[in-house]
Amino acid sequence: MEFINDILDNREIAVIIWLGVFFVWVILQKSIRKSLLAVFNAFTQKVIFVSTILMLLYVGAMIYLFYRIDFWDISNLSDTIIWVVGVAFAMFINIDRTKEDDYFRKAVLDNVKIVIFIEFVTNLYVFNLWAELILVPILAIIGGMLGVASTNPKYKQVESCLTKFVGIFGIGFIIYALYNVIIDFKGFVSIDNLREFLLPLIFTIVFLPLIYLMAVYVTYDSIFMRIKLLVKNSALARYAKWKTIFAFHLNLRALNKWLRKIVLLEFNSKEDIKRAIMDVKMSGA
């Protein structure tokens, strides 16, 4: 039990217990089991499976690197799992968003907002296990109700009420955390706490190159598929693909511009392809 407490706090233990209860309930439901089987079959498709394995290997290499330089140890395991599930997988699934302007800058800035610091402080000080076992399902149910209420205008009054309740509850958590910070300030400003706070941000920064390369790969795949559909001459299509690679390399912004442009064009010769690529380059890509 002492080893578990070194890795997980009471809130995380409570979440795992309730997730275990929920998982058992799900397994007992025949209709849900069929849906889970369909999800599993989709996951095992070659492209998704291989991409996920590559992502996990990359994350594993990151963790090993930080472990070797004494910036990660087993006490950071729960925070790492939360980051993988909540950040890494979200970025992986929403890889299309890399087409948005300043996506990578925003991805970093999202980790340095004041709300992240507040969440860190409130999660640093938790209640005893029995209190957390009561609070976790209550907050999960309220969160679910708030999510449902926000989707329908006729529940506006319910949404307003729940939002106020969550706000009051949140302020209570913050006051409790700040009280603990004040009475044990030296314990709060420790190297371990600083490392725990910075780890998600550093993980995100180190993870971004993989997301960038995967976005480049996905964009190239889309471009090549469109060239195949638009250019019936196989030799000319092959030329267009190689010309794309040599012209844009790993320039994701230029590749996205080229992807949007080729739909509007008709390629009948190599000169058409050269001219179109030059137009994209001249546009500041």
Please give the pLDDT value at position 174.
76
Contact in structure between 117 and 181 (CB atoms under 8 Å)? no
Phi and psi based region of residue 233 (left: phi greater than 0; alpha: psi -120 to 50; beta: remaining)? beta
Mean pLDDT by 10 residues, the chain (285 residues): 59 80 77 67 66 88 91 82 82 79 76 61 72 80 74 76 78 79 76 78 89 87 85 84 88 86 77 82 69
Q: Where are the domains of the chain?
A: 231-282
CA neighbours closer than 13 Å in the CB half-sphere of residue 140: 12
> The pTM is what?
0.71
Please give the pLDDT value at position 47.
63
Please give the pLDDT value at position 5.
54
Contact in structure between 73 and 67 (CB atoms under 8 Å)? yes
Please give the pLDDT value at position 36.
67
Please give the pLDDT value at position 65.
92
Nearest-angstrom CA–CA distance, 201 and 87:
10
